[in-house]
């Protein structure tokens, strides 16, 4: 939030009659410092705290029932909307939850941010070795996270993939 400068100034105006005119001499004293040349107030604005986003979407499998935790997904921070790789990039993985009607949720752990800005993450499905007969969705997504100053000393955040805020991976199984 905002921290206001609590400086105090005392202004003295000495007025003297000089013939038919008045002359004024202004003196400015800053409390605790003495005479100064100008009045300056310096306020500071600080953002404290953090904000987080939870990126979530769905996984479908046609051709057989999907098992809880059967499919893995990787979210990796990238430098830009084109997916340019970064050194020491933040990465996390998630697995699908229980399926209902061939569709399961994928929910990544919350990602915390402490600085306003735009952040990018590449989201991909990870092929499993044990899933013989499964054709994997080769799509990948660029997730855009926008972290903003709420003008009250805190942060807000949102995420999107293009104009949506969800994703969907579709796999199929053939024995």
For the segment 54-102, what is each residue's pLDDT rounded down to a tens digit?
Answer: 999 999 999 999 999 999 999 999 999 999 999 999 999 999 999 998 8
pTM for this structure? 0.78
Alpha helix positions (H), the chain: none
CA distance 49 to 34: 38
Residue 171 has pLDDT above 80, yes or no: yes
Per-residue pLDDT, 162: 86
Residue 108 has pLDDT above 80, yes or no: yes
Does an H or E element contain 145, and which? Answer: strand 140-149
CA distance 23 to 105: 80
- Closest alpha carbon to 97 in 110, 108, 89: 108
Tens digits of per-residue pLDDT, 111-134? 999 999 999 999 999 988 777 889
Tens digits of per-residue pLDDT, 30-49? 999 999 999 999 999 988 89
Residue-averaged pLDDT of the chain: 93
Cβ-based neighbours of 162, under 8 Å, separated by 6 or more: none
């Amino acid at each position: 939030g905002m921290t206001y400068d609590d400086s105090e100034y005392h202004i003295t105006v000495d007025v003297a009659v000089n013939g038919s005119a008045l002359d004024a001499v202004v003196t400015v004293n800053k409390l605790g410092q003495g005479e100064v040349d100008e009045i300056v107030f310096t306020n500071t604005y600080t953002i404290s705290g953090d904000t987080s986003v939870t990126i979530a979407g769905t996984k479908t499998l046609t051709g057989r029932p999907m098992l809880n935790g059967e499919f893995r997904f990787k979210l990796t921070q990238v430098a830009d909307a084109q997916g340019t790789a970064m050194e020491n990039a933040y990465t996390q993985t998630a697995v699908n939850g229980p399926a209902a009607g061939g569709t399961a949720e994928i929910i990544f752990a919350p990602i915390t941010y402490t600085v306003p800005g735009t952040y990018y993450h590449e989201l991909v499905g990870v092929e499993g070795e044990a899933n013989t007969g499964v054709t994997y969705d080769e799509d990948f997504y660029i997730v855009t996270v926008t972290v903003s100053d709420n003008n009250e000393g805190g942060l807000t955040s949102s995420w999107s993939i293009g104009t949506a805020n969800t994703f969907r991976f579709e796999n199929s199984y053939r024995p």
